[in-house]
């Protein structure tokens, strides 16, 4: 007596087709997600054919028909997974997941910003936002911004395409205002929560005054030549590198830690006024009151004013 087991053929075909499709996806570089959502309907075709054959054999003599429930169960599981993947594909979640999985950390160059300054521009005001800054002076009449940024991004996707994507510039009267916007936030990517980091270098003409709002971020200052005063407020860690030939009066106000050059400082033990934004640090925990003082370098022709910094590092080379 012949026995027909409904479901066995479907199970075998499912494994065979799955192996063939996965092999072809590797050889032909197919998208595995689309392969998994595209091959599973064939299972229902095979299972339907097998049931029709079962109905045909039930009319034959000496034939016993049995259902292979384990095979049918696994075929149903595979079919359910296929339906689920198809639903995800129709809703766009599959494409988003593929994009998320392609994200990687990259360090790229920021698009350069160059702005020629007319003689009417006497001052440059910079707001750092969330970006650590490096500021240098030059003998040219052009403001330049360049540097790098680190960000998580999908393959082929460049977050910063032009300077206006990270920097806002506006001329108002005799002043050029530069404001750093920061990097785009990947709020839709659950695997990368970091916004990345922008590390720009600003080169300003020595003929203009400079004011920097550090935003409590690290600020490196390299004034090689100066014809006007510089001011940095609310910097986190401010590093000042001066040439030994500099003629600078360094005016430091409300500095919590002072490192580097120690000789020649004229410290003010008690300040005339204390701002509410930066209250003095008491000494119960062993920390001292913020420092204020001046340091003359050379003829002290020009002034560098640094206020409300957590740390000031002064290097004279």
pLDDT tens for residues 180-217? 987 766 545 555 445 678 899 999 999 999 999 999 99
Residues 93 and 132 in one domain: no
Residue 264 has pLDDT above 60, yes or no: yes
Residues 200 and 55 in one domain: no
**Total of domains in the chain:** 2
Residue 127 has pLDDT above 70, yes or no: yes
Among residues 70, 101, 132, which one ends one of the domains? 101
Residues 254 and 116 in one domain: yes
* Tokens 């990270």, residue located: 166
Residues 96 and 131 in one domain: no
Q: Could you tell me which residues are beta bridge partners of residue 213?
A: 127, 233
Residues 60 and 88 in one domain: yes
Residue 29 has pLDDT above 60, yes or no: yes
- Residue 286: the pLDDT is 41
Range with lowest mean pLDDT among 108-122, 223-237, 276-290? 276-290
Residues 269 and 167 in one domain: yes
Residues 89 and 114 in one domain: no
pLDDT tens column, 77-90: 766 766 666 666 66
Residues 10 and 77 in one domain: yes
Residues 118 and 227 in one domain: yes
Residue 278 has pLDDT above 60, yes or no: no
Q: pLDDT tier at 271 (50, 70, 90 boundaries)?
A: very low
Structure tokens at 184: 């785009």
* Tokens 């997941």, residue located: 97
Q: pLDDT tier at 137 (50, 70, 90 boundaries)?
A: very high
Residues 230 and 302 in one domain: yes
- Residue 93: the pLDDT is 63
Q: pLDDT tier at 220 (50, 70, 90 boundaries)?
A: very high
Residue 110 domain boundaries = 105-316
Residues 92 and 111 in one domain: no
């Amino acid at each position: 007596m012949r026995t027909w087991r409904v479901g066995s053929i479907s199970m075998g075909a499912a494994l065979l087709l799955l192996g063939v499709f996965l092999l072809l996806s590797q050889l032909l570089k197919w998208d595995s997600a689309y392969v998994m959502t595209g091959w599973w309907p064939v299972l229902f075709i095979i299972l339907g054919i097998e049931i029709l054959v079962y109905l045909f054999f039930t009319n034959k003599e000496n034939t016993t028909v049995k259902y292979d429930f384990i095979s049918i169960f696994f075929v149903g599981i595979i079919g359910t997974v296929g339906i689920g993947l198809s639903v995800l594909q129709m809703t766009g979640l599959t494409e988003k997941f593929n994009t998320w999985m392609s994200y990687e950390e990259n360090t790229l160059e920021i698009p350069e910003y160059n702005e020629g300054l007319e003689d009417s521009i006497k001052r440059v005001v910079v707001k750092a936002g969330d970006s650590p800054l490096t500021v240098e002076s030059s003998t040219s009449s052009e403001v330049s911004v360049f540097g790098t940024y680190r960000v998580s991004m999908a393959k082929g996707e460049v977050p910063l395409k032009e300077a206006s994507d990270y920097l806002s510039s506006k001329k108002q009267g005799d002043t050029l205002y530069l404001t750093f916007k920061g990097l785009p936030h990947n709020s839709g990517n659950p695997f990368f929560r970091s916004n990345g980091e922008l590390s720009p270098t600003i080169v300003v003409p020595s003929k203009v005054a400079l004011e920097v709002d550090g935003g409590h971020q690290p600020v490196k200052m390299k004034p090689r030549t100066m014809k006007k005063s510089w001011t940095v407020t609310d910097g986190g860690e401010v590093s000042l590198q001066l040439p030994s030939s500099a003629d600078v009066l360094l005016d430091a106000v409300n500095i919590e830690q002072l490192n580097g050059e120690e000789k020649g400082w004229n410290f003010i033990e008690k300040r005339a006024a204390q701002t509410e934004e930066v209250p003095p640090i008491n000494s119960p925990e062993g920390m001292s009151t913020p420092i204020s003082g001046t340091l003359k370098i050379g003829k002290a022709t020009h002034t560098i004013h640094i206020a409300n910094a957590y740390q000031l590092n002064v290097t004279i080379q």
